[in-house]
Structure 1
Amino acid sequence: MVFVIGILAVLLSFLLRVPCRVPEWNVSERFPGLCSAQLDPGDLSVTPNTMLEGFFTGGPSGDQPIVVGMFTSVLGWMTTGLAQAFNVELSANTVLDLTVVLTALVWVVIIATVAGLSGKQPSDPVVMAFAPTVLLVGFSAWDLWAVMFMMLAVASYIRGSPGIAGLWIGLGATVNLLPVLVLVAILFMAARYRYIGDFFIALLSSVIFFAAVNGPYMVTEFDRWREQFSGTLDGPAEGTTVWDVWNTVLAGPTGLSVDTAAVENLSLVVVLLAVVAVLLVTVLAGKDPSIVQVLLLLLLVYVLFGRDWSLLQSVWLVPLVVLARRSWIEFFVWQAVEIGYWATLNAPGGGWETQPVFQQWGWTPQDAFAVLRVLVLLWFLIAVSVDIQRGKRALLIGVHAKNM
């Protein structure tokens, strides 16, 4: 059932982009955000030599995250061998792109992991599978791979295996550094239960596996590895940040504006203070908190007060919001706001601004949805903090293994 749901979600995402393949409609020019993709098309013609060359260097195309390139290299070689055995000519028209197939399987794994953490809540993975933000932007980048490793790390820790959790964190860090927040969440849980061993085991395991995957590439081509790794740190920023929202919407009424030159330092200070606040919430909780709740708070802090806020970062929040809140009204209100904001970024301009309601407010549609995005995430931040203090919603989503 989980597999079928995941495949249906991927097919729906693919159908949304079918108009992009019709040249006469000019959809790619009118809605570039719908048709753009950061995924390289890949290369299905992989020989044994090219497989070995691409295994540690970003796959056959050379620009994939290392751990993704390992999968695409091996499967590309297998596909090439099968095509030669059956005398089938490989082309984009005869074989599905490996990157699309792998991304579909990654989403299935995420859904299955959420289903395993949901207890007796079968609606959780079903609702999450068709989250509009994932369908619109999730399958256009490699972030879903890192989200998968993040959720596998959470599930492993919940089941009492911090070493295995560290394995997934190390692999996830080769795609995007956000899975490292799982280590911070484990540290906070260790502080809560006064058992620091879990953190050091997870930390050591993550360092070992990160080095094992990146080590050969670093030794042989350090400059190229550094350039590719820096690309994972500088992910694409789509839209605005909370600091931009303040300067655009609230600076006028309040008379206080944020100096753009000081945003980087201000963002760092606010994030650090908010992380300390999350630590206090975790340690002082009335009942046993869940690592899912703690990790969601850390991600919310990073997304809200960080230097950029892309639509892809909302994809990271989807499985955690589903597990931590389990309020479909809240979830779909949030998703509606994200869709509206995505539309203001990608739909042809000029239509929404002419509506009377926006003329009366003096705001652009994008400003309005940007404010709503901030308010929704602030709501999640406050609501999950209150849940932790009250001991709610933690019983089925990962009370520490030693107390189960």
Structure 2
Amino acid sequence: MSAPSPETDRTDLPAESDGFVRGLSQAIGGPIGEHAARPEARTDRFWTPQRIVLALVCLTLAFSWVQKSPCQDGDWQKNIQYTRYCYTDVLALYYAEGLNEGKVPYRDHPVEYPVATGYFMGALGLPVHALGERYPQINQGRWFYNANALVLSILAVASAAMLLALRRPRPWDAAIFALSPILLVTATVNWDFLAIGLAMFGLYAWARRWPLVAGLLLGLGGAAKLWPLFILGPLLVLALRSRRVQAFLLALGGAVFAWLATNLPVAILYRTSWTRFFELNETRPIDWGTLWYIGRYLDGKWNTDGDRGPFQWLSDHIPTLNALTLVLTIVACLAIGLLCLLAPRRPRLAQLAFLVVAAFLIFSKVWSQQYVLWLLPLIVLARPRWGAIIAWTVAEIGYFAAFYAELLGAGGKPVIPEGTFVLASSLRLITVAVLCGLVVREIWRPELDVVRRTYDDDPDGGVIDGAPDAAWVASLRRFFHVTPAAGSSSPASPTPAAVGGS
């Protein structure tokens, strides 16, 4: 991993490096003074920044368990799962997928998720069912939820540990993850932390220059939820720019092997069950809160003469919508790839990974509430600035509340106007787009990147970290009439970062 710059190898303090936190610190006397005892000066204390962050993660997850507790018995009378904001797919699908009857995923019942998630469900659900058969007095749903909550929480803590390992001189960056209300309300809504944990381990393995292990972990993550495979795209472009294609090919081979080894047994033995996930994604209509949902609502408002707008037309032509979302996502990824090649300094892996996953969500026809967890660790690695992330978090929590109100209104008695839900959806979309814009700005102006203030190059880059650019990159920039800023083209020379900003 990239070594910290010699003059900045001490622990980063947000009150010094982050303008938003520095402003807040004025309420308690301002940033730490020059002669104060700093965290790295004490070697005998137990509560190091890393342990504080891990304790905060555990505390947030404990509150998350309490927040979901009204729903754990499965007695969802009077829409308690929505009025208490405690709905979780984990409990609902224990019954919907037949796990409460001892059905083996894919063999006895087609599961709507990729196979690694199905394996995970079965590995916890079947023992709970067997226990319930032996002790009929236990509430199987509660036991299943709690077993999943425990394992998913362990994966969340492990993800925080990976953030800390990737940012050793910047441990307080991981506090953005640890204290996030997003983590509080969505940690156990679904099984997303299985994929997140594997993806974070994969990024750490790549940073440690273990490309094959990184590929295996990303492939396993992609077998749980497809998005960890998207990280291979940024790895490819960075490898091309740095002439480290061999390492990328090792990662790609590991990812393909892991994905095939996980999927082939089910695909061969239970093909109909295996294809259900893909069929559902092909046929699903426009989902709540997406770009297309917002567009369909605006079409209805603007076309008062009875004409159908383009978004309304797309809602009735799902194959065309599928093709359009795919094309837009591919175009966005190509633009991100071109940005990577033309940037004055080679972008950091986390920056590109965040942009790719965010682009997928922005143009997707499905944006479930828990998908926000995909972005949380990536934005911490890509742009650990508290101000903009807090604004995004407020928008996400606002959407969370509006979404549950909309679900309550689906029973026939509206709770909030439809326009209010569309506004909340729009704010979520806009804040994610703003985060993308800020990341793009720091790629194009690397002197604004606070992570580069601490590290020489890219702490997540692995074999790419510190490598010189291929000669053809300069030719490509000349072709596009792009001239790098003075002193910004060498990955080995740190660039001073501005400390202000959000």
TM range (shorter): 0.7 to 0.9
User: RMSD over aligned Cα, in angstroms?
Assistant: 3.8
> Paired residue for 1:364, among 419, 425, 428?
419
Counterpart residue identity of residue 387, structure 1: E
Question: Given the superposition, is the C-alpha separation of residues 21 and 71 from structure 1 closer, same or farther in structure 2, using an over 3 Å criterion?
Answer: closer
Higher relative contact order (CA 8 A, sep 6+): 2
Residue 228 of structure 2 corresponds to residue 173 of structure 1? no
Aligned positions of 1:101-116 closer than 5 A: 101-116=150-165
d(CA) in 2 for partners of 1:165 and 1:398?
Answer: 12
d(CA) in 2 for partners of 1:403 and 1:123?
Answer: 23
Aligned residue in 2 for 1:357: none
d(CA) in 2 for partners of 1:12 and 1:235?
Answer: 34
Bigger Cα displacement from structure 2, 30-39 vs 73-82: 73-82
Aligned residue in 1 for 2:231: 182
d(CA) in 2 for partners of 1:352 and 1:127?
Answer: 31
d(CA) in 2 for partners of 1:174 and 1:192?
Answer: 28
Residue 304 of structure 2 corresponds to residue 246 of structure 1? no
d(CA) in 2 for partners of 1:400 and 1:113?
Answer: 15
Bigger Cα displacement from structure 2, 89-98 vs 266-275: 89-98
Counterpart residue identity of residue 224, structure 1: S
Bigger Cα displacement from structure 2, 239-248 vs 71-80: 71-80
> Paired residue for 1:12, among 35, 42, 63?
63
Question: Given the superposition, is the C-alpha separation of residues 68 and 378 from structure 1 closer, same or farther in structure 2, using an over 3 Å criterion?
Answer: closer
d(CA) in 2 for partners of 1:61 and 1:11?
Answer: 33
Aligned residue in 1 for 2:322: 264
Question: Given the superposition, is the C-alpha separation of residues 340 and 227 from structure 1 closer, same or farther in structure 2, using an over 3 Å criterion?
Answer: same
Taking every aligned residue pair, what percent have the same amino acid on both sides?
A: 23
- 1:29 shift after superposition: 5.7
- 1:69 shift after superposition: 5.9
Aligned positions of 1:291-302 closer than 5 A: 291-302=349-360
Aligned residue in 1 for 2:385: 327
1:240-271: CA deviations, max 9, x gaps? 22133234348867997444134333322222
Conservation of the 8 A alpha-carbon contact between 1:32 and 1:346: no
Residue 433 of structure 2 corresponds to residue 373 of structure 1? no
d(CA) in 2 for partners of 1:156 and 1:269?
Answer: 31
> Paired residue for 1:34, among 83, 86, 101?
86
User: What SS does structure 2 have at the residue aligned with 1:202?
Assistant: helix
Conservation of the 8 A alpha-carbon contact between 2:333 and 2:359: yes
List alignment gaps of at least 5 residues for structure 2: 1-50, 467-502
- 1:217 shift after superposition: 3.0
d(CA) in 1 for partners of 2:63 and 2:110?
Answer: 29
- 1:388 shift after superposition: 1.0
Conservation of the 8 A alpha-carbon contact between 1:149 and 1:169: yes
User: What SS does structure 2 have at the residue aligned with 1:139?
Assistant: coil
d(CA) in 1 for partners of 2:437 and 2:231?
Answer: 20
Which has the larger Rg? 2
Conservation of the 8 A alpha-carbon contact between 2:286 and 2:292: no
Conservation of the 8 A alpha-carbon contact between 2:106 and 2:274: no
Question: Given the superposition, is the C-alpha separation of residues 323 and 251 from structure 1 closer, same or farther in structure 2, using an over 3 Å criterion?
Answer: farther
> Paired residue for 1:389, among 439, 444, 447?
444
Counterpart residue identity of residue 260, structure 2: A
Conservation of the 8 A alpha-carbon contact between 1:58 and 1:70: no
Conservation of the 8 A alpha-carbon contact between 2:213 and 2:251: yes
Counterpart residue identity of residue 443, structure 2: I
Residue 465 of structure 2 corresponds to residue 403 of structure 1? yes
Aligned positions of 1:2-401 closer than 5 A: 3-20=54-71, 26=78, 28=80, 30-31=82-83, 34-38=86-90, 40-41=93-94, 63=111, 66-67=115-116, 91-92=138-139, 97-227=146-276, 239-249=288-298, 257-258=310-311, 259-260=313-314, 261=317, 262-347=320-405, 348-349=408-409, 350=414, 352-353=416-417, 364-391=419-446, 392=449, 393-394=451-452, 395=455, 397-401=459-463
- Greater helix proportion: 1
- 1:153 shift after superposition: 1.6
d(CA) in 2 for partners of 1:380 and 1:201?
Answer: 32
Q: Normalized against structure 1, the TM-score is what?
A: 0.80
Bigger Cα displacement from structure 2, 29-38 vs 141-150: 29-38
d(CA) in 1 for partners of 2:76 and 2:119?
Answer: 38
Conservation of the 8 A alpha-carbon contact between 2:345 and 2:443: yes
Question: Given the superposition, is the C-alpha separation of residues 207 and 25 from structure 1 closer, same or farther in structure 2, using an over 3 Å criterion?
Answer: closer
d(CA) in 2 for partners of 1:400 and 1:111?
Answer: 19
Question: Given the superposition, is the C-alpha separation of residues 342 and 244 from structure 1 closer, same or farther in structure 2, using an over 3 Å criterion?
Answer: same
Bigger Cα displacement from structure 2, 5-14 vs 394-403: 394-403
Counterpart residue identity of residue 178, structure 1: W
d(CA) in 1 for partners of 2:345 and 2:107?
Answer: 46
Conservation of the 8 A alpha-carbon contact between 2:241 and 2:341: yes
- 1:30 shift after superposition: 4.8
Q: Normalized against structure 2, the TM-score is what?
A: 0.66
d(CA) in 2 for partners of 1:234 and 1:34?
Answer: 28
Bigger Cα displacement from structure 2, 3-12 vs 283-292: 3-12
- 1:112 shift after superposition: 0.8
List alignment gaps of at least 5 residues for structure 1: 354-362
Conservation of the 8 A alpha-carbon contact between 1:270 and 1:305: yes
- 1:80 shift after superposition: 11
Bigger Cα displacement from structure 2, 29-38 vs 167-176: 29-38
